[in-house]
Amino acid sequence: MSLNPADESFVASLNGVVPTSVFRPVEPRYLEEPRGRLNGQGGLLACPHNTHEVSALIKAANAARVGVVPYGGGTGLVGAQVMPEGPAPLILSLERMAHIRAVHPEENVIVTEAGAVLADVQAAARGADRLFPLSLASEGSARIGGNLATNAGGVNVLRYGNARDLCLGLEAVLPDGCIWNGLTRLRKDNTGYDLRNLLIGSEGTLGVITAAALKLAPIPAATGTAILVVPSPRAAIDLLSLARDMLGEGISAFELLHRQGLEFLSETLPDIRQPFPDPPEWSVLIELGLIAALDPREQLANLFEVALGQGLVLDGLIAQSEAQRDGFWAVREQMPEANRRIGSVSSHDVSIPLGALAGFIEKGRETIAGFGTFRINCFGHVGDGNLHYNVFPPKGADRADYSHQGGAIKRAVHDLVADFNGSISAEHGIGRIKVDDLERYGDPVKLSAMRAIKMALDPQGIMNPGAVLRI
Amino acid sequence: MSLNPADESFVASLNGVVPTSVFRPVEPRYLEEPRGRLNGQGGLLACPHNTHEVSALIKAANAARVGVVPYGGGTGLVGAQVMPEGPAPLILSLERMAHIRAVHPEENVIVTEAGAVLADVQAAARGADRLFPLSLASEGSARIGGNLATNAGGVNVLRYGNARDLCLGLEAVLPDGCIWNGLTRLRKDNTGYDLRNLLIGSEGTLGVITAAALKLAPIPAATGTAILVVPSPRAAIDLLSLARDMLGEGISAFELLHRQGLEFLSETLPDIRQPFPDPPEWSVLIELGLIAALDPREQLANLFEVALGQGLVLDGLIAQSEAQRDGFWAVREQMPEANRRIGSVSSHDVSIPLGALAGFIEKGRETIAGFGTFRINCFGHVGDGNLHYNVFPPKGADRADYSHQGGAIKRAVHDLVADFNGSISAEHGIGRIKVDDLERYGDPVKLSAMRAIKMALDPQGIMNPGAVLRI
């Protein structure tokens, strides 16, 4: 079924449907994505003020069979927010719907419009002495609706879950323009199919999230942070298991670092203080957030001692000040920027069952070696089995000389991930960049069910055309 | 679209499709549900040995347009497992598919067939020094596939989530008989729509769950249990908030008890030891599961002292032995049996936003008083905002004289729940008993989306006809 462009006749059809103040010029930023892999085409940009305007716009788009591209903070890494081809779409930005509707500290709930910037949601929670745990690199510009539409992850998933796990209720406009009021603050509600989780992670292809009720958590009384040198990725997994036995849910983050990444940091961002004079082959950044009855530094020291006895750690540093803690985190948080400056041939956001993760890393090295002398920076949310597995040209080489190998390397890494029963998109989603990968690696029965659901809820295919499913 | 009965011609069509050993006689237990509110009709009972047989049976049922009623442990309380009317169905019991496929302690994952009894899944986890936290009254006979299909709750939801939150991956047979292999052990996997959560809680109307990968947790090093007398439900909520600030995720259970329930226990089960000589108006059972670095009894004593200072508790007992702990839990766990012996006029499984819960209880009392001198036992998983709100005739009265008021009372309670933005089915689901309620109280846009999804995945309506949706 072919779509129509958001042309002048469509604009004319909106006359009186929404105020003209809804429309804004399509600045270039609405057509770019962070890694510059896709360029969106222009179209009509609408920035509605409220859910009723969203509803009116989508009803009109559905009637006119015009594609709608929902737009949050524009920080997605798989191109769900830009539509490079096809009839010019209606770009629907939630930027004006950024109001925090309510904070319920006694319920550990915050209710916010979808256009609120993630950092503002965090700040509103903190203002009520609560923690909104979703935390990721782009939190200063990502908007919560986009975080939910892509089921965003980040550094606190290990303890608090991903965006999906933090959501209690949604308000959303479905592809026919109807408003679903599912903005419940309930912890338990078994009344019918889980429409909330169906919309979460559907990347705007089944509707537009306009508001959400989200879980908050108590702010841990004290935080402790360490970087521990481990002899191997296997030891990192065992260390996590030990830490869980000793500290329960108190582990907020558990991130893997590889020597290659630390060297990239030295090379590209020399002002970042390195934790060790000689970058260790493997290390983990661990953070505890504990109740007042426990001293995090003492607990980290205990953990280190027990782990040392079991051969799971070789060396370690426990942050002794807030500044030191910030320094440790800077190493982790600046890693994507260092990678960007070095320039990868191929980068991958994968997850592997924890028990198979060490085997994957070993086999990955062999696989990449088959392509030449590449450098691998394999790092990330190892506690969730989620690795950012990025492949770079040899030192001193020109990336352009290797980029022709990118496709084959990506394919080999993804094949390996599939062999290990992993996922080719752990936290970034499918967007437009991984549609082919989903078709290749996705379960065919699931894909067919997805298509049936898409056709049922959006029979004209107006919602985010070309994202997730080719249809 | 009308269905055909699972008659002799259907049986004949299965000849050679599955071995005849798959079929068993339909004993009465397959047609009963625990509260005796619905009686299923006979039909054809199939107990397949493996997923391929499930697939073959459903393919055949779909081809012959025969209804399929999935059957787990038969413990559901809303009648999803029995079909009282319509053409005789194929009853599909998963009882032979009870194999625990694998335990991965290092990953905190267990993979099991759907027919495994919940208590056996718990035991398998414990055998690997891990906890499978789903725990509910019927765990000795409920099967995990049914727990997932109904998104079961229980006493540990506060800490570990409900069945949905404990599931990483599913294998399921969809209504066309195709097998979806989504049995991932991954913590993060953003590859397309969330089919897993769509099946969880769909009560067998979108497919049959045949296996699941489930989350395990470390076994807490030490457990502490107390019953604390609180001056009001509001104080119970505030106590929970205080306990969370002091103890973080260490609170495994937080259950509300009312004097009425304790009196029912004295009356019907006098052997159960009462915690206090005079049953207090309101009390909570709190359980901590802590790491080795913390002493639960000491922490409970601390909590009690701080709460006492804030006027949130009046009295309390901390279990000093395993036997005392068991005694405390017996009070809570025998409550449904005491209720059953008294005999309710109407019972309700509702949830309310935590901040509104005290107001609901107060208003509920007024509402019920308008119907006469009924007794209310309002108890349960207050930490999740989930109350079992049961209404009984006056003491000494004959229930039969009041049962005609049951419908009006139910309606009044559910209307009140809706006024408080609550749920009319917190943890039991819709089944067949609450289909009318869902139509009355459910969001119409959500209901319409549910119908579209049902039609898309099960166009002939063979899966659990009449459950959840009338269509």
Could you tell me if A214 and A274 lie in one domain? no
The verdict on ipTM greater than 0.95 is yes
Q: Which long-range contacts (CB under 8 A, 24 or more apart) does A261-264 make?
A: A261/A335, A261/A338, A261/A339, A261/A377, A261/A379, A262/A331, A264/A335, A264/A338, A264/A339, A264/A341, A264/A342, A264/A377, A264/A392
Could you tell me if B231 and B284 lie in one domain? yes
Q: Is residue A2 part of a domain?
A: no
Tell me, what's the pLDDT at B471? 75
Give the mean model confidence (pLDDT) for residues A416-434.
Answer: 97
Cα separation, A467 vs A460, whole angstroms: 14
pLDDT tens digits for range A301-344: 999 999 999 999 999 999 999 999 999 999 999 999 999 999 99
- Find the farthest-apart pair of alpha carbons in chain B and give their distance in angstroms, rounded: 74
Of A192, A247, A421, which has the smallest distance from its Cβ to B184's Cβ? A421
Which pair of tokens denotes residue B115?
A: 């027919």
Tell me, what's the pLDDT at A1? 62
Could you tell me if A167 and A205 lie in one domain? yes
Tell me, what's the pLDDT at B1? 62
Q: How many Å lie between the alpha carbon of A324 and the closest alpha carbon of chain B?
A: 25
> Which residue, among A104, A111, A190, would best test binding to B if mutated, counting the most B CBs under 10 Å from its CB?
A190
What residues of B are in contact with residue A425 (Cβ under 8 Å)? Answer: 189-191
SS3 letters across chain B: CCCECCCHHHHHHCECCECHHHEECCCHHHHECCCCCCECCCCEEECCCCHHHHHHHHHHHHHHCECEEEECCCCCCCCCCCCCCCCCCEEEECCCCCCEEEEEHHHCEEEEECCCEHHHHHHHHHHCCEECCCCCCCCCCCEHHHHHHCCCCCCCHHHHCCHHHHEEEEEEECCCCCEEEECCCCCCCCCCCCHHHHHCCCCCCCCEEEEEEEECEECCCEEEEEEEECCCHHHHHHHHHHHHHHHHHHEEEEEEEEHHHHHHHHHHCCCCCCCCCCCCCEEEEEEEEECCCCCHHHHHHHHHHHHHHCCCCCEEEECCCHHHHHHHHHHHHCHHHHHHHHCCCEEEEEECCHHHHHHHHHHHHHHHHCCCCCEEEEEECHHHCEEEEEEECCCCCCHHHCHHHHHHHHHHHHHHHHHCCCECCCCCCCCCCCHHHHHHHCCHHHHHHHHHHHHHHCCCCCECCCCCCCC
Could you tell me if B126 and B213 lie in one domain? yes
Domain region containing B400: 343-419
Could you tell me if B297 and B234 lie in one domain? yes
Q: How many Å lie between the alpha carbon of B448 and the closest alpha carbon of chain A?
A: 9
Nearest to B195 by CA among B187, B186, B203, B207: B207
> What's the structural domain count of chain B?
3
Tell me, what's the pLDDT at A35? 87
Of B157, B178, B192, which has the smallest distance from its Cβ to A450's Cβ? B192
Could you tell me if A202 and A236 lie in one domain? no
Give the mean model confidence (pLDDT) for residues A44-57.
Answer: 98
pLDDT in tens, chain B (471 residues): 699 999 999 999 999 999 999 999 999 999 999 988 999 998 899 999 999 999 999 999 999 999 999 999 999 999 999 999 999 999 999 999 999 999 999 999 999 999 999 999 999 999 999 999 999 989 999 999 999 999 999 999 999 999 999 999 999 999 999 999 999 999 999 999 999 999 999 999 999 999 999 999 999 999 999 999 999 999 999 999 999 999 999 999 999 999 999 999 999 999 999 999 999 999 999 999 999 999 999 999 999 999 999 999 999 999 999 999 999 999 999 999 999 999 999 999 999 999 999 999 999 999 999 999 999 999 999 999 999 999 999 999 999 999 999 999 999 999 999 999 999 999 999 999 999 999 999 999 999 999 999 999 999 999 999 999 997
Q: Is residue B457 part of a domain?
A: no
Could you tell me if A236 and A327 lie in one domain? yes
Tell me, what's the pLDDT at A27? 96
What residues of B are in contact with residue A244 (Cβ under 8 Å)? Answer: 108, 218
- The CATH number linked to A239 is 3.30.70.2190
Could you tell me if A386 and A410 lie in one domain? yes
Q: How many Å lie between the alpha carbon of A238 and the closest alpha carbon of chain B?
A: 7
Tell whether the torsion through CA atoms of B52, B57, B59 and B60 is positive or negative: positive
Please answer yes or no on whether B201 and A187 come within 8 Å at the CB atom: no
Q: Is residue B177 part of a domain?
A: yes
Q: Is residue B150 part of a domain?
A: yes
Please answer yes or no on whether B180 and A449 come within 8 Å at the CB atom: yes
Q: Is residue B237 part of a domain?
A: yes
Cα separation, A221 vs A237, whole angstroms: 27
Q: Is residue A39 part of a domain?
A: no
Could you tell me if A389 and A282 lie in one domain? no
Please answer yes or no on whether B190 and A427 come within 8 Å at the CB atom: yes
Contact by Cβ (8 Å): A169, A133: no
Q: Is residue A47 part of a domain?
A: no
Could you tell me if B229 and B189 lie in one domain? no
pLDDT tens digits for range A259-273: 999 999 999 999 999
- The CATH number linked to A378 is 3.30.70.2740
What residues of B are in contact with residue A192 (Cβ under 8 Å)? Answer: 201, 430, 438, 442, 446-447, 450, 468-469
Cα separation, B469 vs B449, whole angstroms: 11
Which pair of tokens denotes residue B73?
A: 């442990």
Of A197, A201, A218, which has the smallest distance from its Cβ to B190's Cβ? A201
Could you tell me if B139 and B232 lie in one domain? no
pLDDT tens digits for range B144-198: 999 999 999 999 999 999 999 999 999 999 999 999 999 999 999 999 999 999 9
Of the residues A218, A252, A283, the one at which a domain ends: A218
Please answer yes or no on whether B452 and A447 come within 8 Å at the CB atom: no
What residues of A are in contact with residue B248 (Cβ under 8 Å)? Answer: 218, 220, 249-250, 290-291
Nearest to B192 by CA among A78, A332, A141: A78
Of the residues A193, A218, A243, the one at which a domain ends: A218
Of the residues B419, B439, B455, the one at which a domain ends: B419
Percent of chain A, pLDDT > 70? Answer: 100
Q: How many Å lie between the alpha carbon of A420 and the closest alpha carbon of chain B?
A: 11
pLDDT tens digits for range B292-347: 999 999 999 999 999 999 999 999 999 999 999 999 999 999 999 999 999 999 99
Could you tell me if A292 and A363 lie in one domain? no
Q: Is residue B49 part of a domain?
A: no
What residues of B are in contact with residue A294 (Cβ under 8 Å)? Answer: 293-294
